[in-house]
Structure 1
Amino acid sequence: MKITGLLVLKCNPEGTDPVILANATDVSHFGYFQRSSVREFIVFVGRTVAKRTPPGQRQSVQHEEYKVHSYSRNGLCVVGFMDDHYPVRSAFSLLNQLLDEYQKNFGDSWRTVQADSTQPWPYLNEALTKFQDPAEADKLLKIQRELDETKIILHKTIDSVLARGERLDSLVEKSSDLSAASQVIFFFFFVLNGQ
């Protein structure tokens, strides 16, 4: 999962090309001589997608093994270039965070900008690095990943408690600690789970 580029653009309602307010790219996985062409391609596609994203809408465009995600809100549009494996939910969560952060940092000063900005926005470069892991952008994904890890640990622990070749259902049958009703409930759930 890889994020190649993030752009923040001012969308002009009169149909002219959007103005780039901030731009961050990571083209290190491309060959040295391809990098400038890839950056130009990111700017071109980013501007085109931003221009065609209706206000208040999110959209994704597939190109080979890459997806371009965009989110337009209140005249601003954020565009992200991710590989095909980056979760869509995490991508849009990231774009939403970037829009919020940009508006918090710059207020309405971007509305008067008429030409592409060459000034770097440090937060965008940090986000490009930090959010390479989709779990950083999507808290639910992060929680799900932690739950999966906990579940694996629990399974390993239960398996290690059981003696070699012994099954949980045979232990329940032998147990004098469980009432007959508890044993019936266990076997009922055991059958329901298809074990």
Structure 2
Amino acid sequence: MKLYSIAVLHKNTDSGDVKILKTAFDLSSFSFFQRGSVQEFMTFTGKLLVERSGLGARSSVKENEYLCHCYVRNDGLSAVCVTDAEYQSRVAMSCLGRVLDDFTAKIPAIQWPAIKTDKDCTYNGLGELLAKWQNPRDADPMTRVQEEVEETKIVMHNTIQSVLDRGEKLDDLVKKSENLSDQSKLFYTQARKMNKCCNYV
């Protein structure tokens, strides 16, 4: 799972013009000679998505093995990130929301019109957020909980399997059990013979 870039942009609510305020990239998985072109294409795609999105919109667009996630707030402040296909859309949208909240806290809206290029923007937290969100488990509590639930499912499944694989014969255990009535034992025996309702045992 990989997060390649995050960009903060502003869409003018009157004219619809979009300008890039700040960008951060992690293109280490691309060859040195590809990085410039990849960065340009990611920037171009992000700007295009913000231009074509309405205020308050969230969208994810797939291009080959990459996903471009876009969030445009009602005030026009927008964020775009490019990820691989394994990176969950929910996590990407959480990341973009946090990026915009952090940007707004450090760069007030009154300063946005004065930013003409990436270098004019004094916001320096984007690189840190890009690094932090490379591992959604650390950055997003919901991902951590979801993974723990999945691990619990696997552990429970393995425990059931280990009980069934111990070599004990379930038939013998049923016959010896004092907790089962004769009727239940008969039902189990008949079901085993018919191989219908108790075939999971």
Cα offset for 1:168?
6.4
How big is each residue's C-alpha offset from its partner over 1:28-62, in whole Å with a ceiling of 9 and x where there is no partner?
A: 11111111121122221111111111100111222
TM-score, with length taken from structure 2: 0.77
Distance 1:173 1:87, change over 3 A: farther
CA distance in 2, matches of 1:193, 1:102: 59
Cα offset for 1:126?
1.6
Partner of 1:60: 60
Shifted more, 137-146 versus 4-13: the winner is 137-146
Partner of 1:101: 102
Cα offset for 1:98?
1.2
Q: Is the 8 A contact 1:87 1:134 kept in 2?
A: no
Distance 1:8 1:164, change over 3 A: same
CA distance in 2, matches of 1:67, 1:90: 12
Cα offset for 1:110?
3.7
Partner of 1:127: 129
How big is each residue's C-alpha offset from its partner over 1:55-92, in whole Å with a ceiling of 9 and x where there is no partner?
A: 00111222221111100012100001111221111111
Distance 1:162 1:44, change over 3 A: closer
TM-score, with length taken from structure 1: 0.79
Shifted more, 167-176 versus 108-117: the winner is 167-176
1:64-75 alignment runs, 5 A limit: 64-73=64-73, 74-75=75-76
Partner of 1:40: 40
Partner of 2:112: 111
Aligned residues: 188
Amino acid at match of 1:130: K
Cα offset for 1:158?
5.2
**Secondary structure of the structure 1 residue equivalent to 2:33:** helix
**Secondary structure of the structure 2 residue equivalent to 1:99:** helix
Amino acid at match of 2:41: F
Partner of 2:192: none
Amino acid at match of 2:30: F
CA distance in 1, matches of 2:99, 2:168: 53
Amino acid at match of 1:117: D
Distance 1:108 1:161, change over 3 A: same
Distance 1:60 1:159, change over 3 A: closer
1:165 equivalent among 137, 151, 167? 167
Q: Is the 8 A contact 1:90 1:135 kept in 2?
A: no
Q: Is the 8 A contact 2:60 2:70 kept in 1?
A: yes
Q: Does 1:80 align with 2:81?
A: yes
Cα offset for 1:153?
2.9
CA distance in 2, matches of 1:93, 1:169: 52
How big is each residue's C-alpha offset from its partner over 1:134-185, in whole Å with a ceiling of 9 and x where there is no partner?
A: 3345433321211222333344445556772226686466343x465xx79x
Return the structure number with greater relative CO, CA threshold 8 A, min gap 6. 1
**Secondary structure of the structure 1 residue equivalent to 2:80:** strand
Partner of 1:23: 23
Is there any run of 5+ residues in structure 1 with no aligned partner, and where? none
How big is each residue's C-alpha offset from its partner over 1:95-141, in whole Å with a ceiling of 9 and x where there is no partner?
A: 11111221122232443334022257442212212212333454333
CA distance in 2, matches of 1:68, 1:34: 19
CA distance in 1, matches of 2:171, 2:50: 59
Is there any run of 5+ residues in structure 2 with no aligned partner, and where? 189-196
